[in-house]
A and B are shown apart, each in its own frame.
With several copies, the nearest count.
Chain A
């Protein structure tokens, strides 16, 4: 074999991520490995990711945290035994997409896009899955709770950051993430509604 023995730090990062039960950030790796330089850790991660890219398992970064997972093209071999993913209802799927593409977003905003009220359980299902969290309140009358996605959401759907959401740029460019009234005003040249950016109060999030 001509894969020369990897450097000690590369081996250490490899072993640590392999053994970890949760994805790990560069910070967590650095501190676990005795306060290594973060730049060195990053270099090791890059080296490992490159090493694994053609193998049966890959090293991936999601929401700034790294983990190993099986290669997607082998799904058919692994899927057989374990169907671990819960099937989401269509409503939950839509609500999740709306939250992901519009976050942070209130329930009323979700409902105005979907044209139906959201059943109580739908948001609960998404929060229980760990993909959605309450992210504060919007500072408008009624102070509605606003929702956003979590790092686990990005992890589950294989997204490095929210910017990787499929089609996000196109949707944004087409104005399809803007409210109907804004789009209308833009189309009809009535663009006087420079709505001040909503003042959202974040909820402190315990990790």
Chain B
């Protein structure tokens, strides 16, 4: 268990988030009982106040004394039948546990040791104390609207934005060209293209394969003197025809290197068998 677990809801019972009443840290006779629990924002706050009343540096406080003071405080509040918020009682129980472990012989110590718990409690109180002082110093600064004032009736600065539009001559006529081009009636023409169909390529390649037993490159199967566009079509069709003939077992295909010439020859009956 660490003090970090001791977290209490604010604004409930003794812990309150309303405007500070100011009774909490008042310098009452040391152990005099506060009736205004409202002054504390929780058990840690009360502990800090008690620690401060040891009138020593927070680094030098006696945790045992502090525990006693706190427990004493709680006892007296109970004796007076004051309704104490649960968080104060939880802290009291934890501190009673801490005290008893601190008084126990060393060897029976559990982990974390009571020294560690005590030291961490002390560190927490130091940190809370530091922030409380920082808050006080912050609030004491020259604050706008309280200590210093800004101009009551500034004229204000106004900036009017004006747009300077830009467009050049070329963009203008290009724009007109685009409108005209976009809205001009479009005429689509489909042009006849010389092609070699797959069927005619199949006929052509198998006929030519019947003539010779030698390897021939694919290009040799293309019609000579074909114009470029027909030639490209013929190349594609002849290639597919060659694959088809190879699939049917009527031809074999060889290529020695990647992207090397593709060679083709008739598959003889003997080779098939």
Question: Within 8 Å by CB, do A and B touch in the complex?
Answer: yes
Chain A residues proximal to chain B, CB less than 8 Å? 15-16, 18-22, 32, 58, 67-72, 75, 77-94, 96-98, 100-101, 111-119, 121-122, 125, 128-129, 131, 155-159, 165-168, 171, 174, 176-181, 183-184, 187-188, 193, 195-196, 198, 200
Contact B138 A178 (CB under 8 A): no
Interface status of B60 (Cβ within 8 A of chain A): no
Q: With A and B bound together, what is the CA distance between A110 and B256 in angstroms?
A: 66
- The SS class assigned to the B binding surface is mixed
Contact of B162 among A81, A118, A178 (CB under 8 A): A81
Partner of A115, one of B43, B143, B163, B177: B43
> In the complex, are the beta carbons of A93 and B175 less than 8 A apart?
yes
Instruction: Report B-chain residues with C-beta under 8 Å of the C-beta of A181.
Output: 120
Interface contacts (Cβ under 8 Å), in number, total 307
Name the one of B175, B177, B184 contacting A196, with C-beta atoms under 8 angstroms: B184
User: Which residue in chain B gives the minimum CB-CB distance to A58?
Assistant: B148
Is B211 an interface residue, CB under 8 A from the partner? no
Inter-chain contact A69/B43, CB cutoff 8 Å = no
Given contacts A80-B160, A176-B178, A188-B119, 17 further A-B contacts (CB under 8 A): A19-B152, A19-B156, A32-B159, A75-B142, A79-B159, A84-B163, A87-B167, A96-B172, A101-B134, A112-B4, A114-B128, A116-B15, A121-B17, A128-B165, A156-B143, A178-B181, A187-B123
Q: A81-B160, A180-B4 are in contact. Are A72 and B151 (CB under 8 A)?
A: no
Question: Do B151 and A94 touch across chains, with their CB atoms under 8 A apart?
Answer: no
Contact call A180/B123, Cβ cutoff below 8 A: yes
Contact indicator A167/B133 (Cβ below 8 Å): yes
Q: Which listed residue, B116, B141, B176, touches A171 by the CB 8 Å rule?
A: B176
The reply to whether B160 and A94 contact each other, CB–CB distance below 8 Å, is no
In the assembled complex, the CB of B180 is this many whole angstroms from the nearest CB of chain A, namely 5
Binds A, one of B6-14, B27-35, B218-226: B6-14
Contact present for B151 and A97 (CB under 8 Å): no
A179-B172 contact given A80-B160, A98-B179, A187-B119, CB 8 Å threshold: no
Name 10 A/B residue pairs within 8 A (Cβ), A-sorted. Answer: A79-B159, A87-B165, A89-B19, A128-B165, A158-B141, A167-B134, A171-B176, A179-B181, A180-B181, A183-B123
Per-residue interface assignment for chain B, residues 14 to 49, with 1 indicating a CB less than 8 Å from any chain A CB and 0 otherwise: 010111100000000000000000000111110000
CB nearest neighbor in A for B182: A115
Which residues of chain B are within 8 angstroms of A100 by Cβ–Cβ distance?
A: 134, 138, 172, 176
Contact of B143 among A58, A96, A157, A171 (CB under 8 A): A157
Given contacts A156-B143, A171-B130, A176-B174, contact A196 B186 (CB under 8 A): yes
- A75's contact among B43, B133, B147, B164, by CB below 8 Å, is which? B147
In the complex, the answer to whether B173 meets A171 with C-beta atoms within 8 Å is yes
Question: Which of under 10, 10 to 19, 20 to 34, or 35 or more describes the interface residues of B?
Answer: 35 or more
- A71–B148 CB distance below 8 A: yes
Across-interface contacts of B128 in A (CB, < 8 A)? 113-115
Q: Tell whether, in the assembled complex, residue B151 and residue A157 are in contact, meaning their CB atoms are under 8 Å apart.
A: no
Residues of B within 8 A of A111 (CB): 7
Q: Which residue of B lies closest to A16 (CB)?
A: B157
**Which residues of B have CB within 8 Å of A131?**
165
* Least CB separation from A80: chain B residue: B159
Contact of A176 (CB < 8 Å), options: B8, B15, B130, B162: B130
CA distance A75 to B9 in the complex (A): 39
Cross-chain contact B164 with A158 (CB below 8 angstroms): no
Q: Does B100 contact A (CB under 8 A)?
A: no
Whole-angstrom CA separation of A22 from B153 in the bound complex: 7
Question: Could you tell me if A93 and B139 are in contact, using CB atoms closer than 8 angstroms?
Answer: yes
Residue of B7, B20, B148, B182 most packed against chain A (CB within 10 A): B148
Q: Is B187 an interface residue (CB 8 A)?
A: yes
